[in-house]
Structure 1
């Protein structure tokens, strides 16, 4: 009897997940009204996704398409991969003070993209938010999660700025449609290349990155403009008898992005960014040592590298249950004589999909990705990947 009851409960939960609510959504576990009349809510949210991918070129990134990870020289080879690593699970708590309109919330989230290709849980988000303040790890203030198109791929468009950071952030409205946010972010995030010698130069985390972002618009149409300053510090010396001294250089970047919804069927998105020494904010380059490299012609002192990115996306609804997204992305590293020739100079990708939405919280689809990269030796390689996916929100 108990087994039958459990099965019925599971059926009810699945029915609720599939047929009710909007995307993104959440399941409320408990709602409490305390003696002080404050509303408190405990909830979970996330999605389950399963992917089957076929690649036609060797690339290091197995669970998501990344043009940067295509191997040079060209090696055409067919590889397939099943993955559920995109699946996420989050739990949160909210409290709203009805007297002074202040809110308190706590949220934590994991996915299953563990180390060394495993499906072990991986920490994604964990933060506390009180009124206008946020402290913890979540999307960088210099990221624009709203511009992410409706795609299945684990890796967003190559040129997109979408990274998670430990941070302290303050956000405030400055008009009916405008808001301004400031953040101090983890000083250990710059990714640099140090000289390969016996003197053991070392990266040092001293000054946190600072970013500010302005947003104007509503949920459907908006524009954002942001600036980031990213100090890069390292210990250096030229002889074994010297003491280490700390040198600091400044990386910087600017970003503008926006979305225009022409009507219920057509939406355009665009983002562009440019700067020096801020490559760690790029989706593909965050741990690849592209913020700064040694200048052999200037005593091996580190110099920041330029980076330019642009992406555009178009979403179209063919019918009430059918949609597609097309996007392009291009990234280019500025040229200097001292840059190692094996480093990537430019990379780009395009993608297109077709998605069927049988219910509000269920998607099935096929997605194709093409990418190309070129290094500073002018060697290049390109690759294709086709992905079939199913996704269910809760």
Structure 2
């Protein structure tokens, strides 16, 4: 289950190093009929911010760019908390392989609370997957390798891992997932009479998110199509309202000799929690509650494009750009609504072997807020990764 299908003419080593896909275990043994493997890597990231704070040493945040209104000046950051370790097994059971994976790292938002964090914990047998892993509404087909841990805005679907029950049949996969929702807040937070408007703390869910994805390759062209539907609901005990939110994306990659082109487009109505990096520190708001107590969904869209050039068997050059745009909806709304994010990366990666990677990258981040204020930041990142 853990061996991903190869995309033609894509530097899969670079992608694995950049976005965290796993390669074959270096430490592997047989216990009866079960193959047991241990894998992971030790990684060091160093970042230098030219003018403003752009996030942590591991990745950039649009929220940090937004909050750095004054010039912070030059700033150096360093971290090893992206390092990770994983354990997996594979056992033949009734004609199919039973695969299990448990994986974690030491990453935290803004690198301010290093601790062991569960990434993957799932089992898969006969097409049925249960546990926590990448959302079915996620693809790496259109992901251009970056040193930045988060990467390009709009570069995939949800872009993280959720608890789920998934069934895969050929190239088609469908899942019921832990639903993600985010309500934007009202500026004054009240309605006539002094009552408080519901906020994100009042968001609840009665049903799981439902996702569908089809992923395949035709020659040198690989593509992914996906959709998701999820419930939006709030309940304060005295009042409540419910609506549905929907999202969809289409992404692809095409290899031409040493060049690989990638692109993806998104559309969302009330499902911006699944629009990658459309918010301040992760994804954007789905809806808000108006002064009549009614949920109003927020529209969003995004896209990303990238190119990779394999300079030699050991050197690759990657460039990518992405943007997201979440509607304001109402002038009284604040938070992760009415926000436009965009970022761009250019990097060179050196992989002297499949277990070693060194790289240097320039990253640019820009965010435009509902009040029209625009903030930007740029940085250089250097990384070294040793895999086992």
**Corresponding residue number in structure 2 for 1:356:** 350
For the residue of structure 2 that corresponds to 1:337, the secondary structure is coil
CA change 1:311–1:153 in 2 (3 A) is same
* 1:373–1:287 CA distance, 2 compared to 1 (3 A): closer
Contact 2:41 2:84 in 1 (8 A): yes
DSSP-derived class of the 1:233 partner: strand
Is the contact made by 1:70 and 1:383 (CA closer than 8 Å) also made in structure 2?
yes
2:99 is aligned to 105
Task: Normalising by structure 2, report the TM-score.
Answer: 0.84
Q: CA deviation at 1:168?
A: 0.7
For 2:18, the equivalent position in structure 1 comes to none
Q: Contact 1:57–1:70 at 8 Å: present in 2 too?
A: no
User: 8 Å contact 2:275–2:284 — kept in the other structure?
Assistant: no
Corresponding position of 1:240:
none
Q: Deviations over 1:185-220 (max 9, x none)?
A: 113x21113553455742112111101011121696
Query: For residue 115 of structure 2, what is the aligned residue in structure 1?
Result: 120
Secondary structure at the aligned position of 1:365 is classed as: strand
Q: Is the Cα–Cα contact under 8 Å of residues 173 and 212 in structure 2 kept in the other structure?
A: yes
Matched, 1:171 2:168: yes
Summarize deviations over 1:140-194 as a string: whole Å, max 9, x none. Answer: 0000034332221111212122121111101101xxxxx111110113x211135
Q: Superposition pairs for residues 66-145 of structure 1, below 5 Å?
A: 66-72=61-67, 74-76=69-71, 77-97=73-93, 101-114=95-108, 117-145=112-140
Distance 2:102 2:343 in 1: 32
> 1:119, 1:315 → 2: CA distance?
33
Matching of residue 27 in structure 1 with residue 26 in structure 2: yes
2: distance between equivalents of 1:224 and 1:288?
Answer: 21
* Corresponding residue pairs, total: 351
CA distance in 1, matches of 2:153, 2:284: 16
Deviations 1:41-89 (A, max 9, x none): 1101222210110112434631302335412564332211101122111
Q: Does 1:256 align with 2:271?
A: no
- The residue number in structure 1 matching 2:330 is 337
Q: Is the 8 A contact 2:184 2:334 kept in 1?
A: no
**Structure 2, gaps ≥5 residues long:** 1-20
Query: For structure 1, which runs of at least 5 residues remain unmatched after alignment?
Result: 1-21, 34-38, 174-178, 237-242
Return the index of the structure with the highest Cα Rg.
1
**Residue 301 of structure 2: aligned partner:** 308
Report the 3-state secondary structure (helix = DSSP H, G, I; strand = E; otherwise coil) of the residue aligned with 1:105: strand
CA shift in 2, pair 1:305/1:355, >3 Å: same
TM-score (norm 1): 0.82
Task: Name which of 165, 178, 193 aligns with 2:184.
Answer: 193
